[in-house]
Amino acid sequence: MNFIRFIKTPRIATTRSKKPIVKGNAKKSPASQLSMILTITTDFSPFAGSTELMCQLVSSADTVLAEHRINWDGSLRDVKVDLPIPSGLKEGRVAITPIDDSGSESFVSQFLGGKTNHVVGVETATFALNTVNRHDTVYRQFSLPQGPVRIAEQTGETIIRHIWDAGIILSAALTCNPISNLPDELRQFVRPIFSEPAMKVLELGTGVGILGISIARAFPSTTVVMTDLLDAQSLVDENTCTNAKTHPQMLRNALFRALDWEERPFPEWTVREKFDLIVMADVTYNTATFVALADTLEHLLSTGSKGGRVLCCGKRRHDEEEGFWRLVREKGFVIHERVIFSMDLEGTINYCGDGGKKDGEQLIDFISMSL
């Protein structure tokens, strides 16, 4: 998965670069312009492929006032873009979206809005155009049959407080409708998960909340408790409230609770409440957390959530991740199913039963287990 990111968010500038296309009544010479620097990255490195992007200045009334087309190729590490500010415009937002006419109809492409299956767009909040305030938060929009999901994350190229690949992929798989759009192997894996009309779901390591919020949106009768360290709460709460504006039931069926895998004793609610399903996305990249995470799962499924099922999706980043699955087996967990897909540079996902992959591909694991 490749993410459009701001290296430098839009700022007021007075110099000009290449002339962008100016829309509508915005043909007058602008008094100033917005200047920004963009990049496209995977989790940890620049995107080495090619794609086209559209960068737009959008008014608060959703009118496109200026735009600039970007041709990205594998030799680039970043690109500077200037957009003119039409005279008299007081506020607006900047949106950068992929241009893709590949016609992909994959479940991931559907979740990304049908434009691409590997590049995730980004936009700022609406902001006053007479200031130079820094934008610490940006937004990404995803598509469910029930409507869009809007998720805030931090700016910058750090790996914290961001959306990660497996959060998108598992969200896309679990909310895919009709389920027949999933690959055969994944369809059989997902089909029994939400067979009950009302379930209680616990997410471990929610990050910014994309997985838990997507589940809560797609299954209104399901209660979702999203957990992470306490400093994740502000973004998760913001994202829950943002999506509750169009789906008010989310204020009832989606909530955040702090859960530190290393803190003892475990919170009382982990013993008192029963969860039918525990979901995790991209939580096995850090070997230092393996023991604490395995202990947390063992605690949950041997107390309040006894009999529950665990569902994990992760993009493999190093061979040491396999140590986590050995550890949970030693604790008595039974892995019922492990479905492996490969994902290439362009985001194409194919079933990969033996776990082999070609150069440039990464492996995506879907794992179902119980204690």
Taking only the tens place, the pLDDT of each residue in 180-226 is 889 998 988 887 776 676 899 999 999 999 999 999 999 999 999 99
- What is the domain count for the chain? 2
Residue 49 has pLDDT above 90, yes or no: no
Residue 15 has pLDDT above 90, yes or no: no
What is the mean pLDDT of the segment spanning 13-38? Answer: 64
Q: Using CA atoms, how far apart are residues 297 and 316, in angstroms rounded to an integer?
A: 20
CA nearest neighbour of 292 among 335, 256, 263:
263
Mean pLDDT for the chain? 88
What is the mean pLDDT of the segment spanning 74-91? Answer: 89
Alpha helix segments (H runs only) across 39-145 = 107-111
The verdict on 344 and 281 lying in the same domain is yes
The verdict on 130 and 55 lying in the same domain is yes
Summarize pLDDT for 96-122 with one digit per residue, the tens: 999 876 666 789 999 998 777 789 999
Residue 361 has pLDDT above 80, yes or no: yes
Summarize pLDDT for 124-138 with one digit per residue, the tens: 999 888 766 677 899
**37 falls in which pLDDT band (50, 70, 90)?**
very high
Report percent pLDDT > 70 for the chain: 90
Q: Identify the CATH number of the domain in which residue 181 sits.
A: 3.40.50.150
Residue 106 lies in a domain: yes
Q: Using CA atoms, how far apart are residues 31 and 85, in angstroms rounded to an integer?
A: 7
What is the mean pLDDT of the segment spanning 340-364? Answer: 81
The verdict on 80 and 181 lying in the same domain is no
Q: At what angle do helices 210-218 and 233-244 cross, to 10 degrees?
A: 30
Phi and psi angles of residue 54, each rounded to the nearest 5 degrees, phi first = -120, 120
Low-confidence winner among 16-30, 65-79, 322-336 (lowest mean pLDDT): 16-30
Q: Using CA atoms, how far apart are residues 121 and 134, in angstroms rounded to an integer?
A: 19
Residue 249 has pLDDT above 70, yes or no: yes
Amino acid identity at 135: H
The verdict on 127 and 200 lying in the same domain is no
How many whole angstroms from its chain centre is CA 121?
Answer: 11
Residue 122 lies in a domain: yes
81, 139, 153, 250 from 99: Cα distances, Å: 17, 18, 22, 32
pLDDT for 22:
59
pLDDT for 30:
43
Residue 310 has pLDDT above 80, yes or no: yes
pLDDT for 28:
47
Q: Using CA atoms, how far apart are residues 291 and 283, in angstroms rounded to an integer?
A: 12
Element (H or E) spanning 367, and its range? strand 362-370
What is the mean pLDDT of the segment spanning 292-308? Answer: 97
Rounded to two decimals, what is the model's pTM? 0.92
The verdict on 120 and 179 lying in the same domain is no
What the block records as the tokens of 39 is: 């990049």
The verdict on 312 and 164 lying in the same domain is yes
Residue 333 has pLDDT above 80, yes or no: yes
Residue 75 has pLDDT above 90, yes or no: no
Phi and psi angles of residue 318, each rounded to the nearest 5 degrees, phi first = -160, 160
Domain limits for position 127: 2-135
Q: Using CA atoms, how far apart are residues 23 and 18, in angstroms rounded to an integer?
A: 16
Low-confidence winner among 304-308, 353-357, 366-370 (lowest mean pLDDT): 353-357
The verdict on 101 and 229 lying in the same domain is no
Residue 346 has pLDDT above 70, yes or no: yes
Q: Using CA atoms, how far apart are residues 48 and 41, in angstroms rounded to an integer?
A: 8
pLDDT for 46:
79
Low-confidence winner among 18-22, 208-212, 251-255, 296-300 (lowest mean pLDDT): 18-22
pLDDT for 67:
94
Summarize pLDDT for 138-173 with one digit per residue, the tens: 999 999 988 999 999 998 666 678 999 999 999 999
CA nearest neighbour of 212 among 165, 177, 158, 174:
174
The verdict on 196 and 333 lying in the same domain is yes
The verdict on 182 and 298 lying in the same domain is yes
